[in-house]
Amino acid sequence: MLALAVVLAAPLAQGQVYRWVDAEGVTHLSSEKPPAGVKAERINVGSSSRSTSASASGRSPASGTGASAGISGARSPAASTVSASDREALLGRLRTRECVIALEALERKTDGTEVTSAEEIRRLKQTADLNCSQDPGRRRQQEEMALQLRAANSPACVEARNQLAGMTEPDSAVPREQLRQQQAFVEDHCASPVR
């Protein structure tokens, strides 16, 4: 019975991703549990449920070993492959999101328009280094997404979204074509590439 319970629980453990921010403010994402005592957000692959818990694991995220490693042969290859590929896809999306947010904030804070500190710049660089792709082509895509996010957060886009909201008020007498043009502008120029 115990062996069956371990075999059935292993795919569930395989389907989780952990997200936490360390003491220095750097965001970490991993399929391995965070260090013991670290509060982490647990994201279940294949569902939208998330939970935050204090990890009781004594392993570090980089250890790569765990109790389920010895029983991976007991699972069916299809279940193992799907779970691993789903988990890696989710990790990739989450890392891209953290990368893009860090790159956008880094550019905004280093262009001189926003007050910042050397500590904040270091934290953002570490988050970007930890989560951005090492592949040059993928890194360029992430940098382009960061530029899109910067545009979406710009004062011009904030104003464009506010105008659109005002145009959709029930008492607004804005012609339909003008409303369509404003909506097209917002969708084309002010949509965030990450959610």
DSSP calls for 91-108: HHHHHHHHHHHHHHHHHH
How far apart (Å, rounded) are the C-alpha atoms in residues 182 and 169? Answer: 14
| Nearest residue to 97 (alpha-carbon basis) of 33, 146, 157 | 146
pLDDT for 90-117, tens place per residue?
Answer: 889 999 999 999 999 999 888 877 888 9
Mean pLDDT value of segment 159-186: 92
pLDDT for 77-92, tens place per residue?
Answer: 444 454 778 888 888 9
**Angle, CA of 36, 6 and 58, to the nearest 5°:** 10
More confident residue, 37 or 71: 37
Q: Distance from CA of residue 4 to its chain's centroid? A: 34
The residues, any chain, with a CB within 8 Å of residue 61's CB and separated by 6 or more, are 18, 28, 30, 32, 33, 34, 35
Mean pLDDT value of segment 125-145: 95
Q: Is the pTM here over 0.85, yes or no?
A: no
pLDDT for 44-72, tens place per residue?
Answer: 776 544 555 544 443 333 333 333 333 33
